[in-house]
A and B are shown apart, each in its own frame.
Chain A
Amino acid sequence: MSLFIWGLIIIFAGGLASLISGRRSGLACVFGALGAVAGSIAAVIPAFKVLLHGITESFRLNWSIPFGSFFVQVDPLSAVFLIPILGLSAIAAIYGVGYLWAYRGKKNLGVAWFFYDLLLLGMVLVVAAKNGILFLLAWELMSLAPFFLIIFDDEKEKARDAGWTYLVATHIGMVFLLIFFLILGGQNGSMDFDKIGVIDGLTASFLFVLAIVGFGTKAGFMPLHVWLPEAHPAAPSHASAVMSGVMIKIGIYGLIRAMTFLGHPPIWWAWILIGIGASSGVVGVLFALAQHDLKRLLAYHSVENIGIITLGLGIGVLGISTGSPTLAVFGFAGCFFHIINHAIFKGLLFLGAGAVLHGSGTLEIDHLGGLIKRMPWTAVTFLTGAIAISGLPPLNGFASEFLIYLGVFKDGMSHGLVNIIPVLGVIGGLALIGGLAAACFTKAFGIVFLGQPRSKHSQQAHEVNFAMLLPMVTLAILCVLMGVFSPFIIRVFRAAISNVTLLPQEVVQGQLNAGSSILSNVVIVSVLLVALICGLALLRKWLLSGRSVEQIETWGCGYACPTARMQYTASSFAQPLVALFRLFLQTDSRDLPPKGIFPDRAFLKTDTADTSSKYLYQPLFKWIGFMLSKLQWIQHGRLQLYVLYIALTLLMLLIWKAL
């Protein structure tokens, strides 16, 4: 445990040193990144130990804050989340050195690294905190630090707006969390997690709803997700990777931890979770399809994957509620595995997007193209991430979705017609999400990297430096390895699942073994697939040897002068699906059609605003603003009346105490 605390101290020290270095960019980068990497390595070792041996390590220090104590504990559930947090942050830190190098001299990199390390510190503390006050403090730290990263490019108005949106959203969630912990602490008079005990009945349901809204704002449930597509693209890419890859998972952690206090879940909790999961998943990927900006597309995909994770969580809760060990174990196993997998491939994709921005100067998909020839390594790693996130075999995305499917197929259909809801939600939902995600990522990879460059930006693109490539390649290799070794990896979740579902470890072990053997079959088929691919490539080489192999222009149906702008664009590619689902998307399109034989101007612009933001939040906030403006008469500016207010309040308090 002392290693863990040392890790935290190293991270903080690195950040502080980086802040002090200030404008000396080289030193700032070194201290910041070194703090993050060294601290992560130090802290992750206890996490692995806890997970593999199923033990728990604690550290307690008393504080003078009432109800508060510095009670830090790494139990198996925390360990499951700590590993992706620490791993991805370390890898992204190395990437950050290369990425921020382009900003040296122009911006204060020390500040950026300080807040990056603070973010990491906050996340680790939240996951390890076992006292309500410490949890809330760490949560606030984790929420404030990214604000400064989002407004890193503060000369751009969009970044400033994104920062405000993020701050407001995260604090609205915070209010719900405050109420949650107040009620929780009030139950037994203590905020220490091991003293709270189990809560039942109506209070439990109320707490559950509070937790869903409070933690859901951080996680990005639909319709609480509106800050995600604004905030994640604005931050520098290594921060976006961490935010999208692990910060939103902390919301899921909070929800699971909250449920461990709440006793036996009634079945409608599972249905709500499955509903949230299916809707976030489908609507998230639909919005992703309609985006023009690569990072915004990836941000909406995070919403979709949170949906998948919530589906797994819902199935797990359904299993606890109906007393089915299969559902419980497979649901939670799929949920945990997808959390780790998503951290890997979403991190990879955001790093790749940052590389595209760095190499070509733009993130507008319709202005890119042909990057595979100019940025080959970025292309390969991005392709790996794209295949993984679409849930295709043989990579890791398929393995985690497979577990969720298996849970439902094995035991989800045995309790009569009432089960149509989870079955349709999971099977239909996952299938639809998978198909739409594949559509979206063929668009993202295909239009950005393939074909011919559509503008000067992409014509002059260059490959990125080694510091940026190494993390991407590492993550891509991890995607493959996690897929291949999935049968072994899911066994590691035994202790965590046992903690959460309250099933005995042998039962969990048995279920996980069944899952393991099924996954090994999947791996066998995957290996066969790869062997076939290699074999066929050799066969083709042999067939073509000695025959003519020419290279000419793409067939253009007789057009005399094709240009690169005549290629299919991303908007055109997504148009059939966007039109089919226009009920959800409400795409706004403006166009000026070409007129005459030699038209001089024509354009088509489509814009998909977030419907939750446009039809729910903006009218709501406008109405609140309007209502509150009626109270403006209180702020009249006269000093004497303000003093009168204070005196009156004191008087009332005294009278109330006296009664």
Chain B
Amino acid sequence: MTGGSACDECLARSWLLGRLAAHLDVERGRIIALLDLGEEDLIRAVAGRDAAAVRAERLAFDAGAYRERCADAGLGLICRCDAGYPSALWALPAEPAVLHVAGQLPRLAALTAGEGVAIVGARRASPYALEAARSLARGLGRAGVTVISGMASGIDAAAHEGALDARGASIAVLPAASQRPYPPAARALHGRLIAAGAVVSELGPDVAVRRWMFPARNRLIAALGAMVVVVAARRRSGALLTAELAQTLERPVGAVPGQVTAPLSWGPHALIKRGAFLVTEPADVLEVLFGSDGVPVAAGPGPAPAAELQPLYEALADGHAPAEAFQQAGLDTVRGLAALAALELGGFIHRRPGGHFSIAG
């Protein structure tokens, strides 16, 4: 991979944000407003006693060396002056000057030119919510819609995985240093995303992650998606901030409902009460994006289970536990368990912890 053609001015801007990372963290309450400031205003606003030193370093900034460093880290560069810069980001009041891209630049350009949906949610989520995120992303991936998220553990990771499992495309936006997995445990997912999608970040390869970078990153996720879907989010969570940002950008927001008593469902339900689209299946999202008859690729059903397995399959799809499903399908325990194994072998259902079976696909 080679360094892109990003211009010196934009690179300097990106460098400056990294240089002021510690100062910005102090002021993270108004981070979005700060990011909208010009260079000199930004230095004056946050650098304090270091202002003179920062100005001197800014004058000495060597764009060539920065490009080389990024190329060494395997990052491609694309700045807001380039033709391939995702136009969706222009909707932001403070668009990122440069995207540091792990993965192929042309692919990022192609993906951002097509339709994308952001799926965001809680890090600690229930198996139900994870499955909801995964299967939603699978459906979107199959329909050729790019799934955008933040690679955090939980819902974010499940969304990326779902899209990639369906051989769809997915883009992760990291707080900083997109050549490294963040969180580090997501190494495998990071590799899959680079191979089949892209991992991007506003900040350069040597910037350490700080707290202000998460809301800053969330604004990119909100802008890159033509729609934002929240799967599980507690009160005052980052996912809700992303959804709010999307609303200010006039992007449609969707939410996947959960159990009304679970704290994790608070976010999605609050959004739905305020008029967000209720999302229960990929078709709901596709309808918002393309209208009721403009779905690009039919997210049609996969191969169906054999006829004798059909009643059990349907009972499970209705959410019944195996024992009840056997009864509904008129099977005794022995034949029911055998049919369950046959469905699992065929890849139609997956076993979840606690002996619950979920429908694949």
Whether chain B is bound by chain A comes out as no
Listed in ascending order, the chain B residues whose CB lies under 8 Å from chain A are none
Listed in ascending order, the chain A residues whose CB lies under 8 Å from chain B are none
